[in-house]
Structure 1
Amino acid sequence: MASQQMFKSGQARGEGQAKADQMMDSAQSAADAARSKASRAAQSAQQSKEHAGGMLQQTGEQVMNMAQGAMDSVKNTLGIGDKKS
């Protein structure tokens, strides 16, 4: 009878170890998935930042060109602008 109890104890211990291993594998998989998702999110944010920076630079250049054109028009209207032929 003692050997049967030892067998059951060993069996329970083995099953417990298998469950613990399975849970560790699941936790590792979840951590890997979260790490991958965070990496993709960071990369996407960086690309968005770069795109926004390019758009702002282009818009700034357009505003400067429009302001320069308006200033040239005012100068020409007042007769103080450069005469370009």
Structure 2
Amino acid sequence: MDQSNLSQQAGQAKGQAQQKGNQMSDKASNAAQACKDSAQEAGQQAKSKAQGAADAAKNATGMN
């Protein structure tokens, strides 16, 4: 192989590695966002349940 072929192959390998790295970064970012969304939803559900329990306690004690 001559030098130009080796340079071309090296350039292609570099480009493929960068593309793969970007894909992995995108997947990690998407997973992090999904985790954040899930945590926020769980927090909202917990907040809603706590409010419901507080309202039930007020009703049961006649404080409402």
Q: When the two structures are superposed, what TM-score results if normalisation uses the length of structure 2? A: 0.91
4+ long deviations beyond 4 Å: none
**Which ranges of structure 1 fall in alignment gaps of 5 or more residues?**
62-85
Please tell me whether residue 36 in structure 1 is matched to residue 37 in structure 2. yes
Bigger RCO (CA 8 Å, 6+ sep): 2
Higher CA-based Rg: 1
1:39-68 deviation digits (Å, cap 9, x = unpaired) = 10000000000000001111122xxxxxxx
Please tell me whether residue 46 in structure 1 is matched to residue 57 in structure 2. no
Identity %: 31
What RMSD in Å do the two structures reach over aligned CA positions? Answer: 0.6
Q: When the two structures are superposed, what TM-score results if normalisation uses the length of structure 1? A: 0.70
Residue 55 of structure 1: aligned partner: 56
**Which ranges of structure 2 fall in alignment gaps of 5 or more residues?**
none
Partners of 2:60 and 2:6 in 1: how far apart? 80
The number of residues matched between the two structures is: 61
